[in-house]
Structure 1
């Protein structure tokens, strides 16, 4: 295990410090589950190193009631709080982290069931989301507000963190959130090398989606409302980490870039309508079920790993995000 930062030298303004710590605490959840399955306890347990190095303690493990697996954890900073450094510049008091899918015996059934719920835009009905939502609300209350807590997740765990973060915003609470390799429920158009073909497919998809949204609204363009989710969520800016070689999350690159291109082309209205909807959410709403697209994210600090990846496992892995010698591209997308 190789880390280049600890809370002894932690700089909250250093993006590498923040993402390394958030990713390591998510890895702690994966290792907790491995320890449980292999019955590693006490000195034999491997998980504690992932949080103790950063002076965190494990306060709660989130357990799936069906298969008894560990899918999340709540960590508390051990040093006296507020941190001795300048208040607001030190680490958070709490971090709530969620793991993704583990393709191992004993985990596949529940993990794949969660993936299916994501695909059909029904993740909010899952027991893991509901348990995670309750844990986050309780933790934020204990922390005396959202400013003392972070959310973090990887893969499907990132989708849970994204949904929880969105719900907290609707309650008036903005949590600092780290989303690693967050799944995007769409064909991976970003993987296409031909830029003209890629842009054409996205443009066609935007026109179709916007047309369906207008048709579902009685032939009228949806009018923004004060409580419109896209407007409410636009002030929340989570940190989103994607690898363009990972087909699960790569479409987020095109999601934000295409929105900018539509504005420059003078068809920004179509882009805005299509961004706020998905074909699945339109169909659900038409059937009387309130549904938002799982990828609904008006604003984000997008970090793209531009370094070559050897296969899917490396491109989708959590481990890439604490490596210091990779090439990254950073950009803020903020809906106004």
Structure 2
């Protein structure tokens, strides 16, 4: 039942009665809950669950946050994000003072039509040229400018993770590296994650690097400049939307081991599909970045190995469980 899933006391991390801000598992659970709060707030608004019937507030109040500001898409008036402020002042430096959270797609017609258009923008690498992305970026800039960059978190799920990736990249290019919790971030790529071996990826890397060499691509792009930013990417192998991040980073390490690191350092900055889309968009006079949004030089990759139903592999709920079986790897880019 949707209302049961939106009720914190029935579906939320009620086991987390006290937050240890130095504990990565607690950080993950809180970040995921704040993202869930954005989903529930949008449904509260549409279902007019006001006053005592509103289900969203417990998703942040349980962790001593207050709602600082809602982020509204001016095209469809939907709530796509929220800025939360921590009301208590813990001693741990790892505690955020502000969290900017973005939701993903909601499969209801009043929001789905707009969300679907944005998902297409993610695939065609044109998310930043939308009013929602512009509002998200401005919100992040305002929080950082007003309150400083320390102890400010970004959090997002699915489409919202792409929004968080976009905002984090923009800030990193200015030398501001925000802590980011990106759940099930979309990786725009053919579904080759289940193919064993590195043959297909090797071929793709060689083709991509070759195309870039033909275009006289200069390695001194913004990609290496992002290497100091290390967002946390939370993925599930059973989720085809984000699972390719596993192969992306593992293949980069493998290429280094076989002595082909220079090829992969170039190829990992672009994708064949992205180059094609950019070329088509340019001919049509539409704005499109040649640098794919989903590609990132450095990251902390957290893979959920806990058994979940396939239909839940892309869900936000999987990320606040108390006893998850997780595999973590840190990948640092070196030019």
Which residue, out of 221, 239, 247, partners 2:240? 247
What are the within-5 Å matches in structure 2 for residues 210-289 of structure 1? 210-217=209-216, 222-225=217-220, 228-283=221-276, 284=278, 287=282
Match of 2:6 in 1: none
Q: TM-score, normalised by structure 2?
A: 0.91
Partner of 2:21: 12
Deviations 1:58-100 (A, max 9, x none): 0111111121111000001112xxx2414x14x2110000000
Q: How many aligned residue pairs are there?
A: 317
8 A Cα contact 2:172 2:229, kept in partner:
yes
For residues 277 and 177 of structure 1, the distance between their equivalents in structure 2, rounded to whole angstroms, comes to: 22
Once the two structures are superposed, residues 96-123 of structure 1 have per-residue CA deviations (whole angstroms, 9 ceiling, x without a partner) of 0000011112111100000000010000
Alpha-carbon distance in 1 for matches of 2:308, 2:266: 34
Q: Residue 205 of structure 2 corresponds to which residue in structure 1?
A: 206
The 2-side partners of 1:39 and 1:223 are apart by 53
- The reply on whether 1:49 has 2:88 as its aligned counterpart is no
Q: Does 2:33 align with 1:24? A: yes
Q: For 2:40 and 2:326, locate their aligned partners in 1 and report how far apart those are by CA, in whole Å.
A: 26
Shift of 1:140: 1.1
CA RMSD in angstroms, aligned pairs only: 1.6
CA distance in 2: counterparts of 1:278 and 1:328, whole angstroms: 29
Match of 2:74 in 1: 65
Gaps of 5+ in 2: 1-11
Distance 1:111 1:139 in 2: 25
1:119 to 120, 123, 126: 123
Partner of 1:94: 98
Q: Which runs of 5+ in 1 are unaligned?
A: none
- Three-state SS of the structure 2 residue aligned to 1:108 is helix
* Equivalent residues of 1:191, 1:244 under 8 A apart: no
